[in-house]
Amino acid sequence: MLWERDLTQEDLNKVEQKLLSEIENNIKEYEKSRGNLIPILQMIQEKLKYLPKDSIEMVAKYLEINTCEVYGVATFYNQFRFNPPGNHPIKVCLGTACHVKGADIILENFERKLEILEGETTPDREFSIDRVACVGCCALAPVTMIGDTVQSHMAPSKVEGLILRFKIEKEMQEREKAKNETAI
């Protein structure tokens, strides 16, 4: 995971600032050609998990093209996102195999439980929900990815348990931390 668990909003911005300056150096390794636009955007997204406004401007300046041109390309492709994902990005597969096994109800259930819509992130940046078209495990449909793990044979009733598990895990860690602090 890129982020330390319980950073505040301001800390996050500091981390981002630092990464952004790293990225500014990384970009220079790419040749200044239009063909490198998508690879550069991919590199930024890999580091930051999304494309903040500053980074887009940085790329435009480096490749000497208009910012709107960069936005044009970035918004065309589904891979790129413009808001930060959660600590546990939830990707609900809505491919054909998953669809015929009721994936849309699972997506809805996540939306309802987390009180956000697909494409959004919870205010505490813990979870985000996205839809994807086939993660390539159709035989295990319906499938949802949470972080890098694939949850196979999903069911609407499993949703609450999954979310709860992450919440409990977090609480346990916090308690552990508090205990350690008092011990010192």
Partner 1 sequence: MKQQFDNIVLEAKRRQQEFNDTKLPKIHIGMATCGIAAGAIETKKTFEEELLNRGISALIHPVGCIGHCYAEPVVIIDHPDSGFPPIFYHEVNAGKAKMLTNMFLVEGDPRLEHILGATVANEMIPSIMEFPRFNLEKRIVMEKCGLINPEDIYEYIAYGGYSSLINTLQRDPKSIIKEVTESRLRGRGGAGFSTGKKWEMASISTANEKIVICNADEGDPGAYMDRTILESNPHQVLEGIMICAHAVGANQAIIYVRSEYPLAVKIIKNAIKQAQDIGILGTIFNLKITLFQGSGAFVCGEETALIKSIEGFRGMPNFRPPYPVQHGLKGMPTVINNVKTFASIPVIIEKGSSWYRETGTENSSGTAIFSVVGKVTHPGLVEIPMGTSLKTIISDICGNVPNKKKFKAVQIGGPSGGCLPEEFLSTPVDFDSLTHAGAMMGSGGMVVMDEDTCMVDVSRYFLDFTQKESCGKCTFCRIGTYHLLNILTRITKGEGREGDIELLERLSEDIKKGSLCGLGKTAPNPVLTTLKYFREEYEAHIKEKKCIGKQCRKLTAYYIDLEKCARGCDACVSSCPTEAIFTTSTRKKGIDQKLCVKCGECMVACPPQYNAVKKVSPVELAPIIERPIMI
For partner 1, the binding residues (CB under 8 A) are 33-39, 41-42, 72-73, 76-80, 94-97, 99-102, 105, 108-109, 112-113, 132-141, 143, 150, 152, 155-157, 159-160
The helix or strand, by DSSP H or E, that contains position 142, with its residue range, turns out to be none
Query: 38-71 burial, b if ≥16 CB within 10 A, otherwise e?
Result: eebbebbbebbbbbbeebbebbbebbeeeeeebb
Q: Which partner from the list ligand FES, partner 1, none does 157 bind, CB cut-off 5 to 8 Å by kind?
A: partner 1
Look up tokens 């849309």; give the residue: 104
Q: What is the CA radius of gyration of the chain?
A: 19
Q: Which partner from the list ligand FES, partner 1, none does 39 bind, CB cut-off 5 to 8 Å by kind?
A: partner 1
Q: Which partner from the list ligand FES, partner 1, none does 123 bind, CB cut-off 5 to 8 Å by kind?
A: none
Tokens of 13: 């911005």
Examine residue 143 and tell whether it contacts ligand FES (CB under 6 A). yes
CB of 99 vs ligand FES, minimal distance in Å: 7
Under DSSP, the state recorded for 133 is S
For ligand FES, give the closer residue by CB, 58 or 141.
141
Amino acid 95 reads G
Residues at the interface with ligand FES (CB under 6 A): 93, 95-98, 134-138, 141, 143
